[in-house]
Amino acid sequence: MTSAPWTATILTLYPEMFPGPLGISLSGDALARGTWALDARQIREHGIGRHRAVDDTPSGGGAGMVLRCDVLGAAIDAVAAPADTRPRLLMSPRGRPLTQHRVRELAEGPGIVVVCGRFEGVDERVIAARNLEEVSIGDYILSGGEMAAMVVLDACIRLLPGVMGKSVSGEEESFEGGLLEYPHYTRPREWEGRAIPEILNGGNHGAIARWRRDEARRITRERRPDLLGPSVSSPIKR
């Protein structure tokens, strides 16, 4: 019996945005092969009244509108039964930063349910009542959660079995070992007066591995010293 594919259910006011870029390249090929499945659902189907309202003014006053808890709660219940073990993510700038470690955990599970917020925010009660995990992809604000959801999906899909040609391609990338990735080179051997480091042309695989490890540490120390721990302090060189 064939196992069920890794399944992403997206709750959004703009389901037509999906699969978007996820429908091409590696993720698109994997989608066509059935390695993963996508189900983009319209939150407004659970809206209130003749106009299918999904938002209301914030309690206590203030700018913007807030996505209603009853509407979003009904939308979540329609796609995720109590027995559904998939994590429920809410894309939010106040969420925990997405890490490669968390991406691996998500990719190793049965899939995810992703809520794409809009307006000023989401009623806090539905976040608690439906156990939503708030996730951020960076310290900036987007118009909605859809683009952020695509980032999460792309990061997960590429780790699914059979999506990348060689598993080692993913194992040596930035953040996988706690370091940023080492520099890459290819032909021509010299370009505009810049040559490939000679060690990479010598065929000594042990020396190459050490060079790559040292370069990864150097780049991480210069650009992201926070990845090396609180004891490391190095300014970013411009």
CB 27 within 8 A of CB 20: no
- pLDDT for 237 equals 40
Instruction: State pLDDT tens for residues 107-152.
Output: 999 999 999 999 999 999 999 999 999 999 999 999 999 999 999 9
103 and 134 part of one domain: yes
Q: Is residue 179 part of a domain?
A: yes
Q: How far lies 45's CA from each of 59, 142, 178, 183, in Å? A: 24, 24, 43, 49
Domain boundary among 157, 190, 214: 157
Q: How far lies 158's CA from each of 104, 143, 164, in Å? A: 10, 26, 6
- pLDDT for 177 equals 77
CB 106 within 8 A of CB 152: yes
Domain boundary among 157, 192, 213: 157
Give me the CATH number covering residue 11.
3.40.1280.10
Label residue 166 by pLDDT band (50, 70, 90): low
With a cut of 60, say whether residue 170 has pLDDT above it: no
- Structural domain range at position 116: 6-157
